């Protein structure tokens, strides 16, 4: 199966002009062994010209329309060609106070609408310092509550230990493999991605393992050269 390489631009770049340039750079990437998904901020979605990549959103609301100021619904995203959606990113949990219950509503709505869900899970440093058993217990709770009432959901799970995000300190791939297997034991058939300080230099350490189905890339996805290096690793 192809590796899934997802670019999460987060709240970047700072102008539509810069986003157009980045889309153009991404459009030049050649991939046959990887599927590329680009998740820009909402206002830039319509600027994408997805040919060699698919489009993803960074969030979604659980209702499909109505009086929900500031929110964005699945049909709106789909009308712009969006196929994937990231749900439950740790930055949303931290800065917007998203709970597992909110995540659960969003996952249900997105799956019902036919979007491909990338559910983010991962422990903070305090938990990981206690060891892998504690980390698995933390992730297990996020999976149980985030996927409550869903029977055999078909989705992508991104394991993103919070301490590895944007820190330059990626996980130990051996631990990532162990966590990926654990996640798959909880959500059968899930494609499991790793995210957290992935770059062109360390991508191979993760992607060479068959247990790791791909990567969710933040900072390095904003530098076309870096991102290309990650894709080249897979190819
Ligand atoms: P970085 O690649 O910048 O560490 O971000 C990872 C991430 O949060 C992707 O969703």
The catalytic position among 89, 91, 123, 142 is 89
Choosing from 198, 200, 203 the residue with most ligand 1 atoms within 8 A of its CB, the one to mutate for a pocket test is 198
pLDDT tens readout for residues 186-208: 999 999 999 999 999 999 999 99
60 within 8 A of 109, measured Cβ to Cβ: yes
Report d(CA 77, CA 83) in Å as an integer: 8
Residue 49's nearest CA partner among 20, 12, 85 is: 20
209 confidence band (pLDDT: 50, 70, 90): very high
* Helix or strand (DSSP H, E) at 37: strand 34-39
For position 210, what pLDDT does the model report?
97
The pLDDT score that the predictor gives to residue 22 is 97
pLDDT of residue 107: 98
Ligand 1 pocket, residue 216 CB under 6 Å:
yes
Mean local confidence (pLDDT), 30-59 = 96
Mean pLDDT of 120-148: 98
**b/e 158-175 (16+ beta carbons within 10 angstroms → b):** bbbbbbbbeeeebbebee
> For residue range 90-120, what is the model confidence (pLDDT) as tens digits?
999 999 999 999 999 999 999 999 999 999 9
Q: Which two tokens stand for residue 231?
A: 């894709």
Q: Is 122 in the pocket of ligand 1 (CB under 6 A)?
A: no
Per-residue burial over 13-22, b = 16 or more CB atoms within 10 Å of its CB, e = otherwise: beeeeebeeb
Number of H helices, E strands in the chain: 9, 8
Ligand 1 proximity of 166 Cβ (cutoff 6 Å): yes
């Amino acid at each position: 199966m192809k590796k899934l390489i997802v670019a999460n631009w987060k709240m970047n770049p700072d102008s539509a002009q810069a986003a157009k340039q980045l889309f153009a750079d991404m459009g030049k990437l050649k991939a046959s062994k990887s599927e590329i998904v680009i998740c820009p901020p909402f206002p830039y979605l319509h600027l994408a010209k997805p040919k060699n990549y698919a489009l993803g959103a960074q969030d979604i609301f659980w209702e499909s329309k109505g009086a929900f100021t500031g929110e964005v619904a699945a049909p709106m995203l789909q009308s712009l060609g969006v196929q994937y959606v990231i749900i439950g990113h740790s930055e949303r949990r931290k800065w917007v106070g998203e709970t597992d219950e909110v995540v659960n509503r969003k996952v249900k709505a997105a799956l019902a609408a036919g979007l491909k869900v990338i559910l983010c899970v991962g422990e903070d440093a305090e938990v990981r310092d206690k060891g892998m058993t504690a980390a698995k217990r933390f992730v297990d709770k996020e999976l149980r509550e985030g996927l409550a009432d869903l029977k055999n959901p078909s989705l992508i799970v991104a394991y993103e230990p919070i301490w590895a995000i944007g820190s330059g300190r990626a996980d130990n791939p051996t631990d990532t493999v162990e966590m990926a297997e654990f996640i798959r034991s909880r959500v059968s058939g899930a494609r499991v991605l790793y995210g957290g300080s992935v770059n062109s230099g360390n991508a191979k350490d993760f992607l060479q393992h068959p247990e790791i189905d791909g990567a969710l890339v933040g900072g390095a996805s904003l530098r076309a050269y870096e991102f290309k290096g990650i894709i080249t690793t897979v190819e």
